[in-house]
Copies of this chain bind each other. A is one copy, B any other.
Amino acid sequence: MTVAGSVEPLLKLTADAMNEVNELILSKAGSDVELIPEISNYLVTAGGKRLRPMLTIASASIFGYRGDDHVKLATAVEFMHTATLLHDDVVDESDMRRSRATARRIWGNQASVLVGDFLLGQAFRLMVDVGSLAALDVLSTAASVIAEGEVWQLSAARSMETTKRDYEAVIRAKTAALFSSAAEVGPIIAGANERERLAFRQYGDALGMAFQLVDDALDYGGSAATLGKNVGDDFREGKVTLPVILAYQGGNDEDRAFWRAAIEQGQNDEAALASAIERLERTSAVEKTVEEARLYGDKARTALSELPAGQWRDALDEVISFCIGRVV
């Protein structure tokens, strides 16, 4: 096991298929309505590692799949993700993502909502084109679950009543659901058996949980430059993530009063952020969050052991370490 991990082996193995995904993204995000390709191209060139569609490519290819349905489903997965980002930025009123201005900052909330809807529609058309009702079932369920998780997060926002269990349910819905679905549709179209399908679902779920836990840890420091968002974004938005829950639980009365004021009453200026980081350090809350991510990493590795050994499985193993290593 590599400590830092790398996404390179997976990037290399999926390179040809991902080129096809990128072409399909540009073609299916095309429209005579110029604003649509304009915004879509902006998001596509924003890059990101395309972890989710790579999971679909890998989880089909590991079973020797030969065809192009995995490219279509991977594109659908990326469209679902992009639509979610567009809507999330509107909901969170975010101005920056991956070190660039968000679409809503440039083109406004209106276009972001509608182009997100368009991409979601195109995602479903691609799934229908593939014609697998089982894959459609998995991905349409994910679409509902993701939105449900986002509403839940909105309802729980700014409340220190949020428990670790609430938090886990939210990130399982808003992040892990797409990871697990992206990984599950590969074995479906490749004709793998139920055990392998379940193993990929579990791998994706655990990887997604680890990924989000690390993301939430990074929001309070770590290698923030690589994250491309500003340290303290979650704090300023009053999001109750695991580091905050742990610092609240592990703190004294004065700490708890601080967190309630910060999260529930919005006392979250730069001085408050500095104080928050000090309290997180004293209670080892970020460390414990990363430890939690490591436990999910172990779960992902256990799930992988059910799958065929070889370069694909090795690459998927490296991705686990990579997701966690972002913060080490």
User: CB within 8 Å of B: which residues of A?
Assistant: 31, 33-36, 87, 90-91, 109-111, 113-115, 117-118, 120-122, 124-125, 127-128, 131, 133, 136-137, 140-141, 143-148, 150-152, 154-155
Q: Select one of B35, B120, B125 contacting A151, CB under 8 A.
A: B35
A155 to B38 CA separation, bound complex (whole angstroms)? 12
Given contacts A120-B143, A136-B136, contact A154 B110 (CB under 8 A): yes
State whether B148 touches A36 (Cβ < 8 A): yes
| Residues A113 and B133 in contact, CB atoms below 8 Å apart | no
- For the residues of A in contact with B, the DSSP-based class is helix
From the candidates B34, B140, B151, B155, name the one contacting A155 in the complex (CB within 8 A).
Answer: B34
A117: B residues at CB distance < 8 A: 87, 120, 143, 146-147, 150
Closest beta carbon of chain B to A43's beta carbon, Å: 14
Known: A109-B90, A136-B128. A114 touches B151 (CB 8 A): yes
CA distance A151 to B39 in the complex (A): 11
In the complex, what residues of B have CB within 8 A of residue A128's CB? 133, 136-137, 140
Q: Are A113 and B87 in contact (CB under 8 A)?
A: yes
Min CB gap A32→B, angstroms: 8
Give the distance in Å from the alpha carbon of A33 to the alpha carbon of B149 in the complex.
8
How many whole Å from A285's CB to the nearest CB in chain B?
Answer: 26
- Contact residues in B for A144 (Cβ distance below 8 Å): 118, 121-122, 124-125
Q: Which residues of B contact A136 (CB under 8 A)?
A: 124, 128, 136
From A117, which residue of chain B is reached at the shortest CB distance? Answer: B147
- Chain B: minimal CB distance from A204 (Å): 18
Q: Are A120 and B120 in contact (CB under 8 A)?
A: yes
User: Which of the residues B36, B90, B118, B147 comes within 8 Å of A121, measured between beta carbons?
Assistant: B147
**How far is A147 from B112 in the complex, measured between Cα atoms in Å?**
11
Residues of B within 8 Å of A131, CB to CB, are 133
Shortest beta-carbon distance from A147 to chain B in Å: 4
Q: Which residues of B contact A113 (CB under 8 A)?
A: 87, 90-91, 113
Indicate which residue in B31, B34, B115, B154 contacts A111 across the interface (CB closer than 8 Å). Answer: B154
Q: List 16 A-B contacts (CB under 8 A).
A: A33-B148, A36-B148, A87-B114, A87-B117, A90-B109, A110-B154, A114-B151, A115-B151, A117-B120, A121-B141, A121-B144, A121-B145, A124-B140, A128-B136, A128-B137, A133-B133
Question: Which 8 pairs show the lowest CB-CB distances between chains A and B?
Answer: A121-B144, A121-B143, A118-B147, A117-B147, A124-B140, A91-B110, A33-B152, A114-B151
Contact B114 A150 (CB under 8 A): yes
A148 neighbours in B (Cβ, 8 Å): 31, 33, 36, 118
Chain B residues near A140 (CB-CB < 8 A): 121, 124-125, 127-128
A115 to B100 Cα, complex, angstroms:
27
Q: How far is the CA of A147 from the CA of B83 in the complex (A)?
A: 12
How far is B136's CA from A125's CA once the two chains are assembled, in angstroms?
Answer: 8
Q: For residue A120, which residues in chain B have a CB less than 8 angstroms away from its CB?
A: 117, 120, 143, 147
With a cutoff of 8 Å between Cβ atoms, the chain B residues found around residue A147 in the complex are 114-115, 117-118, 120-121
B143 touching A114 by the CB < 8 A rule?
no
